[in-house]
A and B are shown apart, each in its own frame.
Chain A
Amino acid sequence: MAECCISNKRYTYIHDNKWGSEAADMHHIVVRKSRTKGFLVYLSALLVLANAFHLFLVKDGSIAITFWTFGLNVVLVKLLLQKPVEKESVIVMPAFGVQLETHYASGKIIRRFVPIDRILKPVLLECVTPVTCYWSLSFIVRGEAKLMLVFKELRPPVKMLVPIWKALCAATGSEGSLDTLTDDGPTPGT
């Protein structure tokens, strides 16, 4: 019943091992709720609405502006505060395969199952975008040209990805160390 936990500002990693690693090993990344962000968004929405009422009541503005402002506020609050993803889980069953789950705040759960013999190797890769660089955990899948992302929506930090990667390596039988680097150019002569 081993449980271990790492957390940072955005995510919490929970390792649930209640049935023992041979049967099923569960790793969860849970999104933490941020109170300050919610407070700021509601405050600004309130201020905008108050301003619209002030325009209508004191300065004889049209009621349509107030309704539009209200509507806009609802849309913005929904966009900024709605946390679609609540949790993403990886359930490792060495005998069968790996189940990847995404739990949404609305209650919807999306599950993907990958049989163990289809996974060639789990890899930790650095992904570079025009504005940032982050670590991601993926599977090299037999017969597929593209890698399969383990965490589709979330970007947990590498200190949370490393134990999951090690558990996946152990389950799929791959070596848990960095792969060989291929020679990509000549070395200058001495």
Chain B
Amino acid sequence: MAERRRHRILMVSDFFYPNFGGVENHIYYLSQCLLKLGHKVVVMTHAYGNRSGVRYMTGGLKVYYVPWKPFLMQNTLPTFYGTLPIIRNILIRENISLVHGHQAFSTLCHEALMHARTMGYKVVFTDHSLYGFADVGSIHMNKVLQFTLADVSQAICVSHTSKENTVLRSGLPPAKVFVIPNAVDTAMFKPAPERPSVNEIVIVVISRLVYRKGADLLVEVIPEVCRIFPNVRFIVGGDGPKRVRLEEMREKHSLQDRVEMLGAVPHARVRSVLISGHIFLNSSLTEAFCIAILEAASCGLLTVSTRVLPDDMVVLAEPDPSDMVQAIKKAISILPEINAQAMHNRMKKLYNWHDVAKRTEIVYDRALKCANQSLLERLSRYLSCGAWAGKLFCVVMIIDFLFWRLLQLWQPAEDIEAVPDIVLSHGEDERNVAELKVSSEDHGLR
């Protein structure tokens, strides 16, 4: 077996804690598992309000909150070349070997990948979402993605559906795309020690109440199910612009005692909400990978979902109210046969962050084996992106290259000091005490 290399990875995305969501969770858990495998991981994101500068998280995970203001939906203002100095600075001072960008919708990610490629670093991109092809926004987004992925070393998608979508949108050769499904923290999502009684069936919905998550479908499905099954109760957790519609639905059908609205549920409380129910309902119109379903299955709930994730622990339905009602009917009928603990044990084996980290490590090894390419070789890849777009991309990359050279003259790499590695050791009183492991080459002072 080949010797494992220690990688020094920079994770870049606009989406990270304290913002909450699937991408943020993915980056955090993946980073923690990679740290446990012995690699060095640094995260770069934009500043959130007052939270700006360097922060350290569990396990010595260093996060750079760069003070670029977000301008639209948590995304940094795209300036093309504005982030080159700070990215170069971080890459040199942390002695990074590989840059891993997350989420196609993140402008910081695209800029970081572009600059990293200009500077000769190997680059991996993970796509977390599905996108359309038809509307103006998607067309532009796909062109940007095509630009970024024209020169990426490897790409990762979270499901085969997502791989298909990404390959079609970006024109990337499928051989370069790996599929590594997301995982769930099964230690946190355990079933209730005693299952709630089956006399009254509780259906739990936890999601952001937005159009993409199918909140409009819920407005139609809930009254219908309450009408057909008098012993069914709903618990709806989450907040968003569509909450008003759900409240109106409750008023209109007088379902205040049968539909409980919890509002935004902090992630730490999600489990307690899930274990109070029997069935989990997911009405998303589109998901590349639905972690919510995994969390519910890990807690031993039977899931009814729109066709987002094929799984035998799930009853599937079309994103259509009548079809969903039929699916709920089927779920209620198979409910007595479900064994919560058995479901949880299966989830534990199938979806595991350590497994995801090991598979990602293989992708990193493959990425680092890719040959170094000169500017001219890389430009030829960009030219194939389109008649006009190809030439435009080439011009953008040439200017980026010139800026980089200028920056090397203005601030030579020798002037940027390397940061000493942090070595965490566990103290006797369970508090983590960090020791500065200062290598004698960097700092000859004692």
Cα distance A7–B8 when bound, in Å? 30
State whether the Cβ of B335 lies closer than 8 Å to any Cβ in chain A: no
Q: Are A188 and B187 in contact (CB under 8 A)?
A: yes
Q: Are A130 and B66 in contact (CB under 8 A)?
A: yes
State whether the Cβ of B53 lies closer than 8 Å to any Cβ in chain A: yes
Cα distance A177–B57 when bound, in Å? 18
Q: Which of A27-35, A58-66, A157-165 participates in binding chain B?
A: A157-165
Q: Are A130 and B86 in contact (CB under 8 A)?
A: yes
Interfacial residues of chain B within 25-58, with CB under 8 A of chain A in the complex: 28-29, 32-33, 52-58
Question: Which of A126, A131, A158, A180 has a CB less than 8 Å from the CB of B85?
Answer: A131
Question: Which of B28, B89, B415 has a CB less than 8 Å from the CB of A185?
Answer: B28
Q: Are B353 and A188 in contact (CB under 8 A)?
A: yes
Question: Which of B57, B432, B445 has a CB less than 8 Å from the CB of A163?
Answer: B445
Cα distance A180–B58 when bound, in Å? 11
State whether the Cβ of B5 lies closer than 8 Å to any Cβ in chain A: no
- In the complex, what residues of B have CB within 8 A of residue A125's CB? 53-54
Q: Are A159 and B436 in contact (CB under 8 A)?
A: no
- Tell me the dominant secondary structure on chain A's binding face: loop
Report the contact-size class of chain B (Cβ under 8 Å from the partner). 35 or more
Cα distance A156–B59 when bound, in Å? 30
Nearest-Cβ distance from residue A141 to partner chain B, whole angstroms? 19
Q: Are A183 and B185 in contact (CB under 8 A)?
A: no
The answer to whether A133 and B93 touch (CB under 8 A), given A178-B436, A186-B185, is: yes
State whether the Cβ of B443 lies closer than 8 Å to any Cβ in chain A: yes
- In the complex, what residues of B have CB within 8 A of residue A190's CB? 187, 354
Q: Are B52 and A185 in contact (CB under 8 A)?
A: no
- In the complex, what residues of A have CB within 8 A of residue B33's CB? 188
- In the complex, what residues of A have CB within 8 A of residue B417's CB? 135, 157-159
State whether the Cβ of A132 lies closer than 8 Å to any Cβ in chain B: yes
Q: Are A189 and B86 in contact (CB under 8 A)?
A: no
Q: Are A132 and B85 in contact (CB under 8 A)?
A: yes
State whether the Cβ of B186 lies closer than 8 Å to any Cβ in chain A: yes
Q: Are A183 and B58 in contact (CB under 8 A)?
A: yes
Which residue of A has the minimal Cβ distance to B90? A133
Nearest-Cβ distance from residue B52 to partner chain A, whole angstroms? 7
State whether the Cβ of B404 lies closer than 8 Å to any Cβ in chain A: no
The answer to whether A159 and B57 touch (CB under 8 A), given A133-B64, A189-B188, is: no
Q: Are A185 and B57 in contact (CB under 8 A)?
A: yes
The answer to whether A159 and B66 touch (CB under 8 A), given A181-B56, A183-B432, A187-B58, is: no
State whether the Cβ of B133 lies closer than 8 Å to any Cβ in chain A: no
- In the complex, what residues of A have CB within 8 A of residue B68's CB? 130
Cα distance A190–B85 when bound, in Å? 39
Question: Which of A8, A126, A181, A189 has a CB less than 8 Å from the CB of B434?
Answer: A181
The answer to whether A189 and B185 touch (CB under 8 A), given A131-B86, A181-B424, is: yes
- In the complex, what residues of A have CB within 8 A of residue B32's CB? 187-188
Q: Are A128 and B66 in contact (CB under 8 A)?
A: yes
The answer to whether A9 and B54 touch (CB under 8 A), given A130-B86, A188-B353, is: no
State whether the Cβ of B257 lies closer than 8 Å to any Cβ in chain A: no
- In the complex, what residues of A have CB within 8 A of residue B419's CB? 126
Nearest-Cβ distance from residue B63 to partner chain A, whole angstroms? 9
Which residue of A has the minimal Cβ distance to B348? A189
Cα distance A127–B47 when bound, in Å? 13
Cα distance A130–B17 when bound, in Å? 19
Nearest-Cβ distance from residue A186 to partner chain B, whole angstroms? 7
State whether the Cβ of B311 lies closer than 8 Å to any Cβ in chain A: no
State whether the Cβ of A184 lies closer than 8 Å to any Cβ in chain B: yes
Nearest-Cβ distance from residue A40 to partner chain B, whole angstroms? 13
Q: Are B54 and A180 in contact (CB under 8 A)?
A: no
- In the complex, what residues of A have CB within 8 A of residue B424's CB? 181
State whether the Cβ of B65 lies closer than 8 Å to any Cβ in chain A: yes
Q: Are B58 and A128 in contact (CB under 8 A)?
A: no
Q: Are A133 and B89 in contact (CB under 8 A)?
A: yes
Cα distance A165–B431 when bound, in Å? 25
Question: Which of A8, A131, A177, A185 has a CB less than 8 Å from the CB of B58?
Answer: A185
State whether the Cβ of B433 lies closer than 8 Å to any Cβ in chain A: yes
Nearest-Cβ distance from residue B250 to partner chain A, whole angstroms? 34
- In the complex, what residues of B have CB within 8 A of residue A132's CB? 85-86, 89, 411
Cα distance A46–B422 when bound, in Å? 52
Cα distance A132–B415 when bound, in Å? 12
Cα distance A178–B432 when bound, in Å? 11
Interfacial residues of chain B within 341-393, with CB under 8 A of chain A in the complex: 353-354
Nearest-Cβ distance from residue A10 to partner chain B, whole angstroms? 8
Q: Are A178 and B435 in contact (CB under 8 A)?
A: yes
Q: Are A159 and B60 in contact (CB under 8 A)?
A: no
- In the complex, what residues of B have CB within 8 A of residue A181's CB? 56, 60, 424, 432, 434
- In the complex, what residues of B have CB within 8 A of residue A185's CB? 17, 28, 57-58
State whether the Cβ of B67 lies closer than 8 Å to any Cβ in chain A: yes
State whether the Cβ of A129 lies closer than 8 Å to any Cβ in chain B: yes
Q: Are A162 and B28 in contact (CB under 8 A)?
A: no
- In the complex, what residues of B have CB within 8 A of residue A177's CB? 435-436
A-B contacts, 14 of them at CB < 8 A, read A128-B86, A133-B64, A133-B93, A159-B443, A159-B445, A163-B445, A178-B436, A184-B58, A186-B58, A186-B185, A187-B32, A188-B187, A188-B354, A190-B187
Given A177-B436, A184-B55, A188-B185, 15 further pairs, Cβ under 8 A:
A128-B54, A128-B65, A130-B68, A132-B86, A133-B86, A159-B417, A163-B445, A178-B435, A178-B436, A185-B17, A186-B58, A187-B32, A187-B58, A188-B29, A188-B353
In order of increasing CB-CB distance, the 9 nearest A-B pairs are A189-B187, A131-B85, A184-B57, A126-B54, A188-B353, A128-B53, A181-B56, A185-B58, A178-B434
